[in-house]
Amino acid sequence: MRGFLRHLARRHGGSAAPLAGLRGPKARAAIPRALTPEQAMEATQGIGAVHDPDRAQAAPMQAARDVALFTLLYGCGLRIAEALALDVRDAPLPGSDAALRVRGKGDKQRIVPVLPAVRQAMADWLALHPAPAPGAPLFVGARGGRLDPAVAQRSLRNWRRLAGLPEHATPHALRHSFATHLLGGGADLRSIQALLGHASLSTTQRYTTLDAASLLATWRRAHPRAD
């Protein structure tokens, strides 16, 4: 309406002042869409299975790379850009207690603990890495350069179609799933905020809405008076 009144004022004269001060409805923030634990495991581990003929020539190197990358996203809650910016020297490996140092938005660093499953997937990938020099990119593409995010997204998109995963099974959904499953397991918001690298707690609080929606759906399915 404000835009229409401005248009009339430009074309026909007059003033759009009567509605200029009105504020429109605030758009509701989109609720992150997480995967179930079973879907997250299929996205991270199942992608290593070669069911796609187009992947046959790239196996097992591409399969090991994809398992390591997506296990890292789900196991540590990284953004895809943060994971692809890592070098070989940054890789968390079995036998080391060192946490992963991540450089996030605004060049801010955070420390993220690493699960044994992530360390093992990383070791399996580095055993097949074409050029595992310390300063080389941790995740590389077919030509040996740093892996492009679009290639990683396409890889998971192809796998989700083969595996029957939902359309929102994306690399970023693995980060959402990391936070949602931690919250469902009893982790507090401040800890999740630190792990995700959110500057504001209000950003992390979106996951409480998601968890509440899940609880409500469970209640409606199970409670005899839900109708």
Per-residue three-class SS string for 95-134: CCCCCEEEECHHHCEEEECCCHHHHHHHHHHHCCCCCCCC
Question: Does residue 87 come out as left (phi exceeding 0), alpha (psi in the -120 to 50 range) or beta?
Answer: beta
What number of other Cβ atoms are within 10 A of residue 54's Cβ?
Answer: 8
Q: SS3 of 140, please?
A: strand
Tokens of 130: 């074409």
Q: Rounded to whole angstroms, what are the CA distances from 31 to 37, 48, 53, 200, 205?
A: 18, 30, 36, 16, 10
User: Catalytic residues, which ones?
Assistant: 79, 105, 172, 175, 198, 207
Q: Is residue 84 within 8 Å of 149, Cβ to Cβ?
A: yes
184 burial via Cβ count (<10 Å: 0-12, 13-18, 19+): middle
Q: Is residue 203 within 8 Å of 195, Cβ to Cβ?
A: no
CA torsion through residues 94, 190, 152, 104, sign? negative
C-alpha–C-alpha distance, residues 1 and 7, integer Å: 10
